[in-house]
Amino acid sequence: MAFNVALYQPSGNIWAMTERGSKSLVRNSKSLWIGNSGLGWSNGGLELEFEETALPWPGHRLMPRRFTGRIRLEPEFLHLKPFELDADGRHVWWPLVPQARLKVECDLLPGGGWEGEAYHDLNFGSRPLESDFTSWDWARGRAQGEKTFVLYDAKMRNGKKRTLGLALSAGRDAEAIELPSRVSLPRGAWGIRGNIHCDETARPSRSRRLEDTPFYTRSLVETTLGGERVKMVHETLDCTRLANPFVRMMLPFRMPRNTRS
C-alpha cells in the first residue's frame, strides 16, 4: 500500500510514492492513514496531510528530500452515483466530487502553497486492472455553465469497449453527452499514445506533459466538444505494459519499499 503525492510546478516536480507494510495502515469510517500521511473528511471537506520523501527528479534534483504539507478540498457539490466499468461489476469508478475548491500547503512550494479548483474521484475493484483491461483514456475539464465534462474510454481484454461522456453539475443527475470521434495525441517518450474525443473541425493540443512512464501518461490537454474549447487533465493507462515483467522490475525505482513500518 502507498500514499502518492505529485505536485507539479515550473521549477520542478515533487513526487513521492513509498510502498509500506500492513503495520503502517490505520483506518476507520472517517479516515485512512498510511505511515505519516493520511486523509479524512472534516467540517464538510476532505483533508489530506502528508509527510513523505520526494524521489530524485532527473535533470532537477539528485537527492531525496523530506517534505510535509496539507491539502484541503471543499466540494461545490457531490455526485453520489458510482459507475461500473465492466459488465460483471468488478471495477467501479466514482466521480464523487466533480467540482471543488482546493488549498495546498507544502514546505517545498514557492510561497508555501497555492489555491485553485479541484476534482476528486475513486476507482476500486475486486481484481487487478490488468486482468480485465488492455488500456484506457480518461479526461476531466471544467466547461461552461458550471458543468464538468468527464470522458472515459476503456478497452476490455474480452474485446469490448466502455465509453462514458458525462456532464456533471450541481442538483442534477449525470447527463450523457454526445461524443465526437477520438483523435490521437503525440506519443510519449516511452511510446504510449493517448486518445481524446474532439470535434471533427478542430484538433486537440497538449499544453504540458505531467507524467510520462512506460505504462502511464498524464497531460494537460485542450480539446473541442460540441464547439466548446475545454482544458482538461488527460490520462492514458496501458495495462498490457503494466503487466509486462520488465516494466514491473522498474517499478521499485519510482516506488521504493519500506515494509518495516
Tell me what the pLDDT averaged over the chain comes to.
92
**pLDDT (average), residues 148-156:** 96
d(CA 35, CA 208): 32
Task: Give the pLDDT score at 259.
Answer: 64
**pLDDT (average), residues 174-200:** 95
d(CA 221, CA 202): 13
Q: What are phi and psi of 186, to 5 degrees?
A: -60, 145
**pLDDT (average), residues 68-72:** 97
d(CA 81, CA 175): 12
d(CA 232, CA 220): 6
Which residue, 123, 140, 141, is CA-closest to 132?
A: 123
**pLDDT (average), residues 28-32:** 91
What is the reported pTM?
0.91
Q: What number of residues does the chain have?
A: 261
Between 155 and 145, the more confident residue is 155
pLDDT digits (tens, 9 = 90+) for 209-243: 999 999 999 999 999 999 999 999 999 999 999 99
